[in-house]
Amino acid sequence: MAMRAAKLDAYRSLTEQIHGIQIQGETTIGEAVLTSDKLASALRGLIVGARTVKIEPTSDDTYQVELAVSETHVDRLIKAYRQGLF
């Protein structure tokens, strides 16, 4: 399960790098005192063609996963983005 969680986290990180992440924040100040500070993030994207480069244990129940996508695939994503498909 730890290896699967690490792989899913690697895909999330790769999705952030390729598609970006949306950050929304809200701060409320009343009587010159911070009363509320909220921060939310959202991520949406599709990763196709990523390959697992390596999976290494970093402790008894933790793993580090490295993923890679080909330059050709990234070029296709950039072209689609510029055409407004994303």
Range of the domain at 7: 2-82
pLDDT confidence of 86, banded at 50, 70, 90?
Answer: low
User: Rounded to two decimals, what is the model's pTM?
Assistant: 0.69
Determine the Cα–Cα distance for residues 23 and 43; give it in Å rounded to an integer. Answer: 9
Q: What is the reported pLDDT for 34?
A: 84
Which residue did the predictor score with more confidence, 30 or 86?
A: 30
* Count of domains forming the chain: 1
> In this predicted structure, what is the pLDDT of residue 69?
92
Dist CA 83 CA 25 (whole Å): 29
Cα separation of 9 and 41, whole Å? 15
pLDDT in tens, 69-84: 998 888 888 888 889 8
CA 6 from centroid of its chain's CA atoms: 13
Q: Mind spelling out the 3-state secondary structure of 25-55? A: EEEEEECCEEEEEEEEEECCCCCCCCEEEEE
> What tens digit of pLDDT does each residue of 24-49 get?
898 898 888 888 899 898 888 888 88
